[in-house]
Amino acid sequence: MDHDSTDHPKPPSRARRGSQPDLPPPDPTAADVDPATSAAEEDDEARLPEAPEEPGDAIAEGPLAVGHAAIENAVRLAPTSPGVYRMLNTASDVLYVGKAKNVRKRLASYARANAPLPARILRMIAATVTVEIVSTTTETEALLLEANLIKQLRPRFNVQLRDDKSFPYILITGDHWAPQILKHRGAQTRPGRYFGPFASAGAVNRTITALQRAFLIRSCTDGFFESRTRPCLLYQIRRCSGPCTREIDFPGYGELVREATDFLSGRSHAVKELLAAEMEKASNELEFETAALYRDRLAALSAIQSQQGINPRTVEEADVFAIHQEGGYSCVEVFFFRTGQNWGNRAYFPRAEKSFTPQEVLASFLAQFYDDKPPPKLILLSHEIEECALLADALCVKAGYKVEISVPKRGEKKELVTHALTNAREALGRKLADTATQSRLLEAMAATLGLPQAPKRIEVYDNSHIQGTNAVGAMIVAGPDGFIKNQYRKFNIKSEGLTPGDDYAMMREVLERRFKRLLRPPEGDAAKAKADDDSFPQWPDLVIIDGGRGQLNAVREIFQGLGLTQVSLMAVAKGPDRDAGRETLFMPDREAIKLEPRDPVLYFIQRLRDEAHRFVIGSHRKLRKKDIREAGLQEIPGIGPSRKRALLHHFGTLKEIERASIADLGKVPGVSAESARKIFEFFHAQAG
C-alpha cells in the first residue's frame, strides 16, 4: 500500500444462532519465533508445533470445582455490555483471552458444572483461579482489544499468530531536495512516500536495486551525500545519476523521482511507454549511447515485473489469505498485491489445536495479523469466517477507510485464492517433511551417543572475544522442530578481574548464570517470565560445548558444583586443520567418539556447532561495533584529530569508513599506506 483476528473461542450455550460461542483451543506446544533475533534471520518461516493434544487427553490441571467457583464469582460482577475477559491461573499467568457482546452471558456458559464441554475447555477451567474483565463501548472495540491482548500476552489456550515480524517498505524520502530510496521498517514517521508491504527484505532489496538501475535514484545517506566532492562508484556503474556533485540538475532529478513514484504507484505501463518513446527518439537522432541508457532502464523495469510472478489484471490492492490443514497442523499463506503488482508472499504456521476448523483458525489469525499493520481495501479469503462483518467493521475503524472481506467464487480473484491455497499446501508439506527428518535425526543421535531417549531440548554454548575484549557468550537451542530462535540467549561477560582470553572462566560465568536461574524456583514476576509454551522443556536434555576433553571436564565440575546430574554433556573438538567431518566427540567417563565423515548425526552436530558460532560471532560484532561507534576513530593507534577529520570529510560517516578498502583509505589526504592498513585491520579484525 502506498500512503503519505480475532480469537474468541467460547463454550457451547443455548444462545440463538448467530451468537453461538466457539470453543478455545488446548495447550499448544511450539515456542514462538523471536522477532528480535537478528536482521540476518529475516524471512525465516515459523516452526511447526509438536503434535497437539487429542481431545481425550488428561484433563486435570486442578480441581474443576475451584475453576467453576472462580468463574461463578466473576459472573456475579460481570457487566452485560461488550468487553474482554482474561482467565488467570495461580501464578497469574493469562490462560485465555476472549471477547463477548455480553460478558456476563459468556462467562455463565463456562460456569455450568454439568455442561458437556470438551476436555481442553475443562483443563482451562480447572486451571483458572481468577477472571479479569475490561468493559468496552462496542463489540468492535472488544474485538480489537482482544487481538492486541492475545499478541501481547500469548495465552496458552488461544490460537496464536507466530513469526509476526514487521514487514519492510520502500521509502522515497521527502525531506531532502534529492530524495533517497531505501528500505524501511517500523513507524512511518519520516516524510516521504511509502510503498508496501513487501513479504521479505530480499524482495525489497531486489526491487530497490532494479529501481536504481531504472531511475538512477540515490540510495546513500544524507551525510554521505553532503560530503561528496566527486561521484561515487554507483554513478560509474549507472545506478545513480550523481545529484551529489550536480551531475544532474534539480529538474532532471525530480523527473526521475516522479517516474519511480509513478511506477511504484501502479502506473508502470505509462512509465515504460515513455521510456520506450525516449529510446526511439534518441535512436532516430543517432544518439546511440542515450538510447542504450533508456534500453537498460527498460530492461530493469521488466526484471522487476518478471520477479513478481503472477500479477493481477483487475485487482489493484488486496491481501490474499489461504489456509490448509493436514496432520493436525495449519498453514496460512499470505500474498500481498499493491498497485496491481505482486509484492511477495509468506507462510505462517499458527499455534492451534487440531480440532479447530480452518474457518476458526483463519478468523483468529486475521484479527491478530492486522493488529499492528494497516489493512488493504480488499481482503480475499479461501474460507468463510464467522463474524466477517464485525471484523471488517473493526478494520474500517482502525484504518479510517472501507475494508472489504470476501471469499471469491469466480474470476481472477478466485484464481488468486486458488494460487495461494496451492502455496499453503506445498509449504505445509515441506514443513511436515522437515519435522519428520528432524525427529529421525534426534533418535539417531540418542542411539549414537547412548542417551536414554531422543533429546527434546539441546543447548549449545560458545564464546567470542578479541584478546579478551568485548567478551560475549551465547546459547542456541534446538529441538524436534529445529532451531528454536526465540530461546536463544547471549551473555555479556561481566566478571571483574577476568584474565583476557580465559575461555574456561567465560564458560563458567555463562553456565552459572544460565543454570542458577533455572535452579531458582519461580515466584511472583519471575513466574511470569517463563516460556510461553509450557510443553517445551526449559531444562536441556543435552548440553554441547565447543572444545575438547579439558573444556568438558571444566563444564562437568561446574555442573557438579551446581548439583546438576541429569543433564548429558558433550564436547565437540575440531579435527586436524579444523577440517569439518573429522571432529572428535567427548562425553564424561567414555572413550572419545569418532564418526564417519558422512554420518548424518555428525553433520547434524556440525550444524548445531556452526549455528552457535554464527550466533555468538554476530552478537560479538554488534557489541564491538557499538563500542567502536561510541569511542570513535581515536581508538585506532596513530589516528589523531587531523586524520579523523580528513577521513570523515572524505567518506562522510564512520560506517562508510568501516566499509572502505585499503586502497580507498589510502586516497584520503594525510593517510599513508601504513595508516590505511591499520584502519582497515581495526575494523576487520577476526573475533576468536
The Cα 258–Cα 267 span in angstroms is 11
464 and 611 both lie in a single domain: yes
Of 148 and 651, the structure prediction assigns the larger pLDDT to 148
227 and 288 both lie in a single domain: yes
Q: Could you tell me if residue 146 is inside a domain?
A: no
250-264 and 201-215 are packed helices; what angle lies between their axes, rounded to 10 degrees? Answer: 140
- The C-alpha cell at 350 is 499458527
Sign of CA dihedral 379, 385, 389, 392: negative
Of 47 and 459, the structure prediction assigns the larger pLDDT to 459
Q: Which pLDDT tens digit goes with each residue over 222-271?
A: 888 888 888 888 888 888 989 999 888 888 898 888 888 887 776 666 67
**Is the predicted pLDDT of residue 14 greater than 60, yes or no?**
no
The Cα 686–Cα 665 span in angstroms is 20
613 and 644 both lie in a single domain: no
pTM, full prediction: 0.62
- The C-alpha cell at 330 is 495449519
Q: Could you tell me if residue 549 is inside a domain?
A: yes
The Cα 503–Cα 501 span in angstroms is 6
Q: Could you tell me if residue 467 is inside a domain?
A: yes
Q: What is the CATH number of the domain that holds 417?
A: 3.30.420
Q: Of 257, 275, 307, which closes a domain?
A: 307
Which range, 486-490, 540-544, 550-554, 672-676, has the best average confidence (pLDDT)? 540-544
385 and 273 both lie in a single domain: no
Q: Which long-range contacts (CB under 8 A, 24 or more apart) does 188-194 make?
A: 188/3, 192/4, 193/2, 193/4, 193/261, 193/264, 194/2, 194/3, 194/169, 194/170
638 and 678 both lie in a single domain: yes
471 and 604 both lie in a single domain: yes
Q: Of 281, 307, 333, which closes a domain?
A: 307
Domain count along the chain:
4
The Cα 394–Cα 516 span in angstroms is 46
Beta-strand relationship, 94-100 and 83-88: antiparallel
Tell me what the mean pLDDT of segment 472-489 comes to: 86
Q: Could you tell me if residue 111 is inside a domain?
A: no
Choose the weakest-confidence range: 52-56, 84-88, 229-233.
52-56
238 and 175 both lie in a single domain: yes
The Cα 640–Cα 675 span in angstroms is 11
415 and 491 both lie in a single domain: no
Q: Which pLDDT tens digit goes with each residue over 169-226?
A: 889 998 888 999 999 887 788 899 888 788 778 778 878 887 888 788 898 988 888 8
Average pLDDT, the chain: 77
Which range, 274-278, 353-357, 444-448, has the best average confidence (pLDDT)? 444-448
pLDDT the model gives residue 521: 59
Q: Which pLDDT tens digit goes with each residue over 354-386?
A: 778 899 889 988 988 888 788 888 999 999 998
641 and 616 both lie in a single domain: no
pLDDT the model gives residue 379: 93
For residue 656, what are the domain limits? 632-684
417 and 336 both lie in a single domain: yes
584 and 667 both lie in a single domain: no
619 and 639 both lie in a single domain: no
Q: Of 595, 623, 651, which closes a domain?
A: 623
Q: Could you tell me if residue 39 is inside a domain?
A: no
Q: What is the CATH number of the domain that holds 653?
A: 1.10.150.20
Q: Could you tell me if residue 207 is inside a domain?
A: yes
Q: Which pLDDT tens digit goes with each residue over 518-534?
A: 877 555 443 443 444 44
**Is the predicted pLDDT of residue 512 greater than 80, yes or no?**
yes
Return the residue matching grid coordinates 536461574.
517
Percent of the chain past pLDDT 90, that is, above it, reads: 11
Q: Could you tell me if residue 449 is inside a domain?
A: no
Q: Could you tell me if residue 37 is inside a domain?
A: no
